[in-house]
């Protein structure tokens, strides 16, 4: 049976931290679906469509297409998993701040469907401080974010901020 994982998140925008989890996840699982929620009430810098396009471009640049794909959904993550016959939820774990939230989400999803396992990959030491929200703040103030996001994302952030 194929090992299929889903990597859910907001990815506003995708960072080198996310990309590292995707690459490492793609070595563990046959397929990884990067999943963006349609119904999140989050105030994002990029629209859902923009984030999907950005991710598609990076998957091509990184030659990850085939094994890794991107999708979006409305509703419960466990329902998406059931629909697509996926039983692994992949999440990245950074020190401290992530733990309580991730633990709670994993418990909740397990409560909703115990045949779906959440698997955590711990962050790489080079990326543990990377957070999309912080990167956007740095960009707003003109800071250098080239070591934090792929260059195509850096360009998108710059043009988005310039057009605001
Ligand atoms: P969410 O809004 O669901 O937290 P994010 O896009 O912020 O979505 O993150 C998606 C997943 O990627 C989460 O599991 C998060 O912990 C993980 N993640 C985010 N940044 C990093 C990083 N720098 N290193 C490792 N994992 C990360």
**Arithmetic mean of pLDDT over the chain:** 94
Give yes or no: 164 in active site.
no
136 close to ligand 1 (CB < 6 Angstrom)? no
Output the pLDDT for position 104: 95
pTM of this structure: 0.94
Model pLDDT for residues 1-32, shown as the tens digit of each residue: 899 999 999 999 999 999 999 999 999 999 99
Give yes or no: 42 in active site.
yes
Q: Given the CA of residue 42, which atom of ligand 1 is nearest to it? A: 2
Lowest mean pLDDT among 37-41, 83-87, 148-152: 37-41
Output the pLDDT for position 162: 86
Give yes or no: 18 in active site.
yes
DSSP string over the chain: ---EEEEEE--TT--HHHHHHHHHHHHHSSEEEEEEESS-----SS-HHHHHHHHHHHHHHTT-BTTEEEEEESS-HHHHHHHHT--EEEEEE-SSHHHHHHHHHHHHHHHH-TT-EEEEEEPPTTTTT--HHHHHHHHHTT---TTTS-HHHHHHHHHHHHT-
């Amino acid at each position: 049976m194929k090992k299929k994982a889903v990597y859910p998140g907001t990815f506003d925008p995708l960072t080198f931290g996310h990309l590292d989890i995707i690459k490492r996840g793609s070595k563990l699982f046959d397929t990884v679906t990067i999943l963006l929620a349609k119904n999140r009430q989050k105030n994002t810098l990029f629209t859902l469509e923009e984030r999907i396009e950005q991710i598609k471009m990076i998957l091509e640049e990184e030659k990850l297409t085939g094994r890794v794909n991107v999708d979006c959904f409305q509703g419960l993550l466990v329902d998406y998993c059931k629909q697509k016959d996926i039983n692994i939820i992949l999440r990245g774990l950074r020190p401290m701040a992530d733990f309580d939230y991730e633990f709670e989400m994993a418990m909740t999803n397990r409560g909703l469907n115990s045949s779906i396992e959440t698997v955590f990959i711990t962050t790489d030491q080079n990326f543990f401080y990377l957070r999309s929200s912080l990167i956007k703040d740095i960009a707003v103030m003109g800071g250098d974010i080239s070591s934090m996001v792929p260059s195509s994302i850096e360009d998108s952030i710059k043009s988005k901020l310039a057009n605001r």
